[in-house]
Structure 1
Amino acid sequence: MVTVEVLKGRRGFEGYRAYGHADYADEGMDIVCAGVSALTQSTAMGLAEILEISVDCSIEDGFLSLRLPAGLKQEQRRDAQLLMETMMLGLRRMEEQYSEYVRVVERTVE
């Protein structure tokens, strides 16, 4: 199962972690893993390259971790929240359709 932990604080989304493998199909054919990867990695790229936010991001096989930096300007934080809310919409839909393979969990952080 692939798990996505979304980290939320007082100001909204603070980051996320995705780990594991869906095991829906063989490697290279697993549409569930591919979907989660596309959503989480596109969000990371959007934050870094479009919004130009210096995120703390680590990507390895079966693992992605991202944290927003402290001290974002109000406009940057608003735009980052929109991107992450869009990612969550896609992840929740995937979780509904493939509940045996995807789990989305919200964690409260300080």
Structure 2
Amino acid sequence: MIKVTIKRNDQHAIDSFTITGHANFAKRGSDIVCAGVSAVSYGAINSIIKLLSFTPDIEQGAEGGFLRCTIPSDIEEAVQEKVQLLLEGMVVSLETIERDYGNYITISK
């Protein structure tokens, strides 16, 4: 199962997210749940980097199945607002995957 953990600060802004595990929906290379989660999460990170010229702190597992993205608290407010919008879009997409494939992904906030 894929586990997504969203951590928020006191202002309800996303401080970080961590994704661990594998969906095991289908064999490797055919797993649409894993592919969807990967596309959504890496797409959000790549959008932040490309559109905002800002690189968050990223950790990845060598074998896959692990991604952590942390947003430093000392970035400009205007950039922080845009980062949050992109991350909230990611959360909405992940929740949609969870709604349809809840036996393979769980999100905790």
Q: Which band: TM-score by shorter chain?
A: over 0.9
Deviation of 1:88 (Å): 0.5
Question: Which residue pairs with 2:35 in the alignment?
Answer: 34
Q: Specify the alignment match of 2:77 in structure 1.
A: 74
Output the aligned Cα RMSD: 0.9
| Structure with the largest fraction of strand | 1
The answer to whether the 8 Å contact 1:22/1:32 transfers is: yes
Aligned to 1:56: 57
Cα deviation code 1:47-102 (max 9, x no counterpart) = 22221223110122111010011211111111011001100110001111001001
TM-score normalized by the length of structure 1? 0.92
Specify the code of the residue in structure 2 equivalent to 1:39: V
TM normalised by structure 2 equals 0.92
- Using the alignment, how far apart are the partners of 1:42 and 1:82 within structure 2? 13
Structure 1 unmatched runs, 5+: none
| Matching residue within 78, 94, 98 for 1:95 | 98
Paired positions, count: 106
Cα distance in 2 between the residues matched to 1:48 and 1:59: 16
Please identify runs of 4+ aligned residues in structure 1 that moved more than 6 A: none
